[in-house]
Amino acid sequence: MSVILRTPVKRKSLLESKVFNYMFKRINNWWQSRQNRFYRRHHWQLSIEIVLITLILLLTAIVLLLYTYNPVIDGGDYLMHRAATSTSTSTAIDETNLDFEAGAELVSDSISVGDKAEWRLHFKNTGDTAIEQADLSVDLTSAAFNLKDINVEGEGVAVIDNSVRLQDIQAGENREFKIIAGWKAAKTDYPRTLSADLAIVVSAGMNRSQKVISLPPAKINSVLSVAVGAYYHSPQGDQLGIGPIPPVAGTPTTYWLIFKADNAGNDLKNFVVTARLPRGVELSGNESLVAGSYSYDSESRRLIWRVGEIKAVGGDYIANFGLTLTPSSGQVGQKALLLENIQYSADDVWTGSLLSGKINNIDTSLPDDRFNNGQGKVLAE
């Protein structure tokens, strides 16, 4: 019996050969197509593509070299020896011998717009080395405020470049002084609290130490203004008063008195305006109050206008009173008083402060009445 041996077919080699032939044909077709479409008519395009391919290969090689680059630095012992034997004159900053304490308190818990913030400072050298110089800088922490100026009160303290400077503070020595900061609002709807940090840098020779402390915040009072005007004609030209203008001795003339309160910032409570009616002036009985209530004591001749609450924003707070003047013969040739000793007050709900002010006396010159301004001297009968 004969045995027939058959050589197995290398299917993998045949497959690889077919794939290779297929890829070769594809590349050859692509090359022939590029050559027919571009290279035969435009030789420069072939040159450009060769240059670009060369650049891409070069950049790829550079990236691979950088990625695999691992330098070895020799001479470490030499560098350590140089550092140990260096004769450089620079001195390292040593803060171990410079230590201090600083504290602050407000002179007043609340401030009004236009007033300055004041802090009482306590600075003590708690280290064992004398401090040659200490610089203190005030930084308002809200962008709604700008620092205008800095002033100080106390011995051994000065202002240098808008910073507070102390000098020659011995170990264990304590300094007390006052910092006065001028400020202004950078916008109208600013927060009602003025906050600030105090940056402190002390030095002695080449040694330095620094700290930042927060200064106690100051609450900002509301802005309250009260105006009083006397009129015979309104700003629109309507007649409000009755009687002769200028006033005549022995003849009654009635004027219209207008109180107006404006507020911005915080809510107020217990708003009160008081004024005294001079002799020869009486309430006409014509009163008109947009807000609040009033009372009048004929014996003390005291007129009082009260409003329980005034909001921070909005609201009309107005009171109108008719005042009848009967000038005496002794007032001829003079301006007659209509209202005197005018004062106002209110409690600021946010700050707890009492806001108060005074208003000039009102007379018959009528400065707010553009139709009768200056016609206030009493004429004879």
Task: Convert the pLDDT of each residue in 199-237 to its tens digit.
Answer: 999 999 999 999 999 999 999 999 999 999 999 999 899
Nearest 5°: CA angle at 234, between 230 and 236?
Answer: 155
What is the per-residue pLDDT for 7? 45
User: What torsion do the CA atoms of 166, 172, 173, 176 make, to the nearest 10 degrees?
Assistant: 80
CA 295, CA 4: separation in Å to the nearest integer? 138
What is the per-residue pLDDT for 264? 93
**If residue 152 lies in a helix (H) or strand (E), which one and from where to where?**
strand 145-153
Domains of the chain: 100-220 (2.60.40.1530), 223-363 (2.60.40.1170)
What is the per-residue pLDDT for 70? 62
What is the per-residue pLDDT for 82? 37
Residue 241 gets the label, from left (phi > 0), alpha (psi -120 to 50) or beta, of beta
Residue ranges for the chain with pLDDT beneath 70? 1-16, 19-20, 30-31, 34-46, 69-96
What is the per-residue pLDDT for 302? 97
What is the per-residue pLDDT for 88? 30
The set of residues, in sequence order, having a beta carbon less than 8 Å from that of 14 and lying 6+ positions away, is: none
| Cis amide leading into 246 (omega within 30) | yes
CA 164, CA 194: separation in Å to the nearest integer? 19
Global pTM reads 0.70
- Would you say 315 and 262 are in contact if contact means Cβ atoms under 8 Å apart? no
The set of residues, in sequence order, having a beta carbon less than 8 Å from that of 153 and lying 6+ positions away, is: 177, 178, 180
